Amino acid sequence: MALVPDVVKKLVTAGWEVAIQSGAGHHAAFSDAAYSDAGATVAPDAAATVAGAGLIVSVNAPAPDDLGLYPDGVVLLSFFAAAQSEATLRGLAAKGATVFSFDLLPRISRAQSMDALSSQATVSGYRAGLTAAEHLTKFFPMFMTAAGTVPPAKVLVMGVGVAGLQSIATARRLGAVVKAYDVRAAAKEEAESLGATFLDLGVSAEGTGGYARELTPEELDRQRAALATEVGLSDVVITTAAVPGRKAPVLLTGAMVEGMAEGAVVVDMAADSGGNCELTVAGEVVDHNGVHIVGMANPPSGMPTHASFLFARNVANVLGLMGPEGTLAPDWDDEIVIGMCVLRQGTATSSAAVELLGGTTEGSGS
């Protein structure tokens, strides 16, 4: 849910008029009454919700069929992967719409409070850690009981971005022994600060003058073999290498999974974009020789109240920049405004949109 009652209240105080479709908050445990108490108009259906709207806020890009209801010249704020939403993009261009996407937010410190990719990755990483514990047929923590000592679970987190760090933190909270791996050496310190051991695969890409050099085919093989060994020693592997709008890279081959013990668990956070594991099926748990591969589909939706809470704050902070007085008035010289823009009054501005629709690139995004 793109707005929560708390944030609606703030927006209304700032001067916005807010309409919410009846029942839209139900899954996230926000009732119509809570929205209406916060000052929103609760509209009976989609048509009434968007009628006359100057700005439409949603989590993801709308379906092409929904656009018929949208006013001409409307402004849209959401995650919007142009390459995956070509029909919607064309429909919005035809309406002279303006589209801002969280995917394209510049990674600058002033934009941190608007960073919905990070806030949702925080939720996803936490959920992945929990999901791993839920599916493992063993304890995460070590237990010393009268009947004997249970060793702690061994967890390997592949990909140490925001989501990977949260997975590490959650697995550590639950008492697991955690190893982490990332191709970026800079990730080492962050992973270690959360109590994980950073994998050293015995091959250094350190080149001359501080630059990374390309690995030789033999070195790559050696690296893959070392990784396969670590995977085989793990009770749990959590993979987090998703790239918005692109197919996820394969980190775990079928052969690597076959090297894992019966009862081991793979949690694949990149299932929606094809998966980091060759055997992943989005939204399903695949049993491969007793190894369970969990393809997490839309992980934030598993924890909708707080996922929405954070997303709504990101939205409010974007609106604080683009319309602090309750009316949209984006400053087209601001790099955040330019960076997030996919479509400006029907004209493609992001590189992905320009590629699909033609036009000149103003933004720096993909």
> Among all residues, which ones are annotated catalytic?
107, 112, 115, 118, 211
CB of 30 to a second copy, least distance (A): 8
Whole-number minimum distance, CB 23 to a second copy, in Å? Answer: 12
Q: Which of 178, 313, 350, 357 binds a second copy (CB under 8 A)?
A: 313
Binder of a second copy out of 16, 100, 126, 181 (CB under 8 A) = 126
Three-state DSSP class for 276? coil
Write out the two tokens for 63: 């379906």
Interaction between residue 342 and a second copy (CB under 8 A): no
- Neighbouring CB atoms inside 10 A of 160's CB total 26
Per-residue binding string, a second copy, 257-296, x by CB under 8 A, is ----xxx--------------------------x------
Q: Please give the helix or strand (H or E) that residue 49 lies within, else none.
A: helix 46-50
Based on CB atoms, which residue is closest to a second copy, 84 or 113?
Answer: 113
Nearer CB in complex with a second copy: 115/268? 115
**Alpha-carbon gap, residue 362 to 302, rounded angstroms:** 36
Please check whether residue 58 is in contact with residue 88, taking contact to mean a CB–CB distance below 8 angstroms: no
252 touches a second copy by CB under 8 A: no
User: Can you point out the beta strands (E) in the chain?
Assistant: 19-21, 41-43, 55-57, 75-78, 98-101, 143-145, 148-150, 154-158, 177-181, 197-198, 236-239, 265-268, 285-288, 291-295, 341-344, 347-348
Give min distance, CB of 1 to a second copy, in A. Answer: 11
Rounded Cα distance, 15 and 325, in Å: 6
- Minimum distance of a second copy from residue 176's CB (angstroms): 11
**What are residue 21's DSSP bridge partners?**
43
Beta carbons within 8 Å of 275's beta carbon, 6+ residues apart: 248, 250, 268, 281, 282, 295
305 binds a second copy (CB under 8 A): yes
R_g (Cα) of the chain, nearest Å: 23
Q: Which of 44, 141, 254, 324 binds a second copy (CB under 8 A)?
A: 141
**Residues of span 86-125 touching a second copy by CB under 8 A:** 112-115, 118-119, 122-123
Q: Which string of x and - marks every residue 208-247 that binds a second copy (by CB under 8 A)?
A: ----------------------------------------
Phi/psi at 202 (nearest 5 deg)? 80, 5
Q: Should residue 143 be labelled a site residue for a second copy when binding is judged by CB under 8 A?
A: yes
**Nearer to a second copy among residue 28 and residue 187 (C-beta):** 28
Please state, in angstroms and rounded to a whole number, the distance separating the CA atoms of residues 50 and 269.
33
DSSP lists the bridge partners of residue 149 as 144
CA 6/CA 16 separation, integer angstroms: 14
- Window 25-64: contact mask with a second copy (x via CB under 8 A): -x-xxxx---------------------------------
Pattern 146-185, a second copy, x by CB under 8 A: xxx-x-------------------x--xxx----------
Sheet with 236-239: strands ordered across? 197-198, 177-181, 154-158, 236-239, 265-268, 291-295, 285-288
Q: Is 23 in the site for a second copy (CB under 8 A)?
A: no
Q: Which is nearer to a second copy, 172 or 222 (CB)?
A: 172
Helix, strand counts (H, E) of the chain? 12, 16
One residue of 56, 74, 81, 130 binding a second copy per CB under 8 A? 130
Interacting residue ranges for a second copy, rule: CB under 8 A? 26, 28-31, 112-115, 118-119, 122-123, 126, 130-131, 133-134, 136-139, 141, 143, 145-148, 150, 170, 173-175, 261-263, 290, 303-306, 309-310, 313-314, 317
